[in-house]
Every structure is written in structure tokens, then in C-alpha cells.
Structure 1
């Protein structure tokens, strides 16, 4: 079995390790020849987990390679989903399995509309990893990964995923898990980017706490109207717990803003605001957060 991975960031590389350890053949699809040149010969990927180092070897490809793709994991930024998949679309088959493992929402529906008859899964994970260099990965946590089909007549798990040595939870209600991840991201990421702070610093100021609380209440209102039950406890309680548990972390949105990169705000708070508009629900706090991050983002990148 041969899995191709689009998106060689921390999560893409982490799953390259998971799949390789499960006996799968893995290819990383890199953006272009310049990206490929940043890797050592032989596609050596070094991984450190619980202070125990090991390494794997991945095949390296660019989108224009001719090898057919039967199993595809998409771990790009959410806003790159369509363009990245379109670049390899001639290599896909009607029976190709595609898994989207990303932040945000909206790109799942867009991909279904673009590709039509495909076998598609969505997954969301709390696994944590970071890249020291292009091919040196640190796995912080294997977390929990929820996965479920987005298309009819699709099995609970893609081929070979039953062999992954990670906490993996297949189910038919993946939309709820996508919304839960979205809700936490809405509550934390834009605020850390606007205040230029670590996650835990959101809980150290009464004004920030109140802003998070109000954003959470709006998210809950929209989710309830959409038929989604988020958490047994109020979202503000869950979001505060996550911010506390990841207190020393810098959110990915903050890192994107600091480095002048495009953020995933449109697929996170932007998606929430779109759903609110569709349901005729007022979400002024989240609209304000959306506009604030747009103002900090590179010109024209939406």
C-alpha cells in the first residue's frame, strides 16, 4: 500500500512516520523542485518522540510526477486545499481514497464539489509536533484523532489506518468533531494573534477573558442553530482548559501573523461568520476578530 502526503509540514511529516511504522509506503509531495532540494538525498526524516530518536525514509515527489495516487492524505493549510489537489488531479483515480487532516472548515465541501465522485474522509487531531529543520521532527504528543467518512459507501477507516499505532477514533459523526475543533480554534487562535501572546496569557487578563467568553457564546449559538452539540460543559470552560493546558504554546495563527504568512482565519472564524450569516445570527465579536486578523494579514491574502 502506498500513501501520498500533500503538505510536508509538522502534521504531514508526523503522519508519514505513523504510516511508515504501520508498514505503509509513503511519498511526500513537495511544492516544487526548490522545496525538494531542501531535503537530504533519500528523503531521510528524523523523528524524536519521548526523547527517543529514530528515522524513516520517504519517497520525495513534486506534483507533476507520473506515479498514480491511490491513497492521499492532505495535510496542507486549509486555504491551499483546492489548488494543491488540483495540481495532482490528473494522477487521481475514481477509487482514490482521500483523507483531509486539517484545521478549519469549508474546504471539505469545496473539494467535494470540485472532485465529485470521490472517496473522502475528514479527520481532526490533537496530536502535537514541530519541525526543528525541514527534516527534523519533534513529536510532542500522539493526542487523539477522530476520523469519519464524508461520502456515501465509504468505510469507517481508509485502507491501512487500522494498523496505525495511535489513539484513533472512527465514527460516522465527524462533523461534530470538526465543529468542536473549530470552536476551540475560534476561541483561542484569533485572540492570541491579536494580543501577540501565548495561549495561557489569555487567562491572565480580565479583558481578554471577557472577550473569549463573549466569542464562545456566539460560537455556541451558531453551533446549536446548526444542530451541533459542542461539549457537555460551556465552550468558555473547555476553551479556558485548553488554553491553560497549552499555556506555553504559540498558536499557529499567531506564528503565521508574526512571520508575515497567510493565516487560516477565513477557514476558522470566517467559516463561523458565514454560518452565522446563513442562519441569521448576529456574531459581532467574531466579526470583529475576523476583521482584526484580516488587518494584520498580508495584503490581498484572503
Structure 2
């Protein structure tokens, strides 16, 4: 298959490294990162060790386009990939948060496959990443396009990427967003790997309160989450990614914008607009925005 990965962050690099051996793969990213990839390739180490040289000059039509940018870049990415798709192309989104779902559907309709993932990866350089865990990627179409679901699942199977086709993909996306909302800002503010939250009761208590606020927001928005006790699942993710330094922590350390608006920010809006108190999530959102040096709206 012809695959284009749009975005070369840690998860994008891992997906490129895993998918490249079985497919014709190109990657699109901003310079100087793209120029470095062109010269030196992409190197992934840890749970899998791969060195690849993907194409860096996308052209023509692709069977699969994986949009692996930050969630706040989704509109720019959607506009940019239009020239590389036709009616038979499939758009795959492993992005964090909730805001991307409606935007991608507006742009691409039934072509979209949502793919929330628990791949744990840490950037170790502009063209390298340490893979902590391949995690699990859930695959689903909000429009019910089973053929596209099966195509993406088969693609991931061949690449040895654990995956599962979900009949409740919106519930999976929300569940992943809640996991991110409970782990990422707390780990980022404390400056610790995910697993440390399990070891510090004060941090775990904050995560629990944020979790139950977000779960209430899901209920009032008629979302069926994929775990009865979502906080138990949050703790399981903390365990399975215990060594991972989450993307929000990496972004703060590097002086980059985080995805706090697209994760906690959207959950706050979904909850407060329906009368749910989101005080803990709002406090986390405020502190991350302040740490970024961005003004509060």
C-alpha cells in the first residue's frame, strides 16, 4: 500500500518505522525535521528497534493517509492532505483529544477511520524515538464503513501493531481523552513519568477527581465509555506506560504548545455546558496554560 504519514512526532515516527517494511511509505513534516529525516532516516529503539528511510517528497494519491500531527494542527493538516487523496483513500487519525472527530468528519466524511492508541513513545531527537510500549490501537468508523476498518486492521496486523476493531469507537475516543486528561497534565506539572502518579497519593487523588468529573461529562453527553470504572482503566494505563514521559511533559520541557485545550479544554466545555462542575479539570487546564506562557481566554 501507499501510505503517507502527516506529522513526525514520536508516535508518527513509531508508526512510520513499523509500517515501512511492508509498504511504500512517505512522511510529511516541517523543516528542519524533514531535512534531517531525509539525510539520516528515522530511528526507533526500545520495545522495537527499527531504522528506516521513508520518502520525504509526497506526491500522487495514497491508499492510507495517517494524520499524526498534534490535535491543534488538525485543520492545517486536513487542508494539506487533500491533494494526496481520492475517493478510495482512507484517513486514519490516532490523535489525542476530542476536537478532531468533528473536524475530520466535516472534511473527509466516510473516509475517516478513528484510531485512538495507547502507543507509548518518547522523542529522543528530531528523527528518533524510544518506544516504551506498542500499547493497543482501537480502530473504528463513526460512519460504519466496515471495509475501511478491516483494511486498516489488516495493515496494522502485518506491521505487528496490536489493534482491535471497535463497535463503539466514539466511546473509545472519549475514554482515551479521559485517560489523557487524568494523566498528562498532572505528570507534566509534576515533571514525572506516568507511573509515578501511582506512587504519590496526592497526585493520584487529583487524577481520580479529574477522572470522575470527565466521566460525568461523558454521561450527560450520552457517551457510552468502554470501561465501567474508568478510573481503574486510568490506573492500568499508568501501570502499562509507567516509564513513559507523556507528550504533554515533553512539550512543556521543550517550550512547545501542549494539547491541553483539545483534551481537558474540550471536556470542560462538554461538561460545564451541561451543568457539570469541572473544577479540577479547569484548574489543570489553567496551570498548563500558565506553564506554557499562554494567556487564558
Output the TM-score relative to the length of structure 1: 0.86
Q: What are the residue-to-residue correspondences of 1:127-142 with 2, within 5 Å?
A: 127-142=119-134
5 Å-filtered alignment, 1:205-284, equals 205-230=200-225, 232=227, 234-284=229-279
Alignment match, 2:92: 99
3-state SS of paired residue (1:104): coil
Q: Provide structure 2 residue ranges, at least 5 long, that are not aligned to the other structure.
A: none
How far off is 1:269 after superposition?
A: 0.5
Alignment of 1:136-151 (within 5 A): 136-151=128-143
Partner residue, 1:81: 74
- 2:289 corresponds, among 283, 294, 299, to 294
Question: Using the alignment, how far apart are the partners of 1:120 and 1:292 within structure 2?
Answer: 34
SS in 2 for 1:72: strand
Consecutive unaligned residues of structure 1, counting only runs of 5 or more, are none
Give the 3-state SS of the residue equivalent to 2:37 in structure 1. coil
Question: What is the aligned partner in structure 1 of residue 30 from structure 2?
Answer: 31
**Which of these residues, 78, 83, 86, is aligned with residue 90 of structure 1?**
83
**Offset at residue 88 of structure 1 (A):** 3.1
- Residue 122 of structure 1 corresponds to 114
User: What is the CA-CA distance between 1:7 and the residue it aligns to?
Assistant: 0.9
Q: Please tell me whether Structure 1 or Structure 2 has the larger radius of gyration of its CA atoms.
A: 1
Give 4+ residue runs of structure 1 displaced > 6 Å after superposition.
none
- Taking a change above 3 Å as real, the CA distance of residues 88 and 174 of structure 1, as seen in their structure-2 partners, is same
Structure-1 residue corresponding to 2:4: 4
1:181 to 2:176 alignment: yes
CA shift, 1:197, in A, is 3.1
SS at match of 1:93: coil
CA contact (8 A) 1:98 1:119 kept: yes
Is residue 187–residue 212 contact of structure 1 (8 Å, CA) maintained in 2?
A: yes
Once residues 209 and 46 of structure 2 are traced to their aligned partners in structure 1, the CA distance between those partners, rounded to angstroms, is 38
On the 8 A contact 2:180/2:263 being kept in 1, the answer is yes
Compute the TM-score of the two structures, normalised by the length of structure 2: 0.87
Deviations 1:73-115 (A, max 9, x none): 11111111111221232333233210001111111211222x2
Change in CA separation of 1:298 and 1:96 when aligned onto 2, cut-off 3 Å:
farther
**Cα separation, partners in 2 of 1:94 and 1:190, compared to 1, 3 Å:** same
**1:229, distance to aligned residue in structure 2 (A):** 3.9
Alignment partner, residue 199 of structure 1: 194
Superposed CA deviations along residues 239-268 of structure 1, whole A, max 9, x for unmatched, are: 234334434432221221222110011111
Cα deviation for residue 31 of structure 1 reads 2.0
* Matching residue of 2:51: 55
Cα distance change of structure 1 residues 55 and 301 upon mapping to structure 2, 3 Å threshold: farther
Asked whether the 8 Å contact 2:122–2:246 carries over to 1, the reply is no
For the structure 1 residues 236 and 46, does the alpha-carbon distance in structure 2 shift closer, same or farther, using more than 3 Å as the test? closer
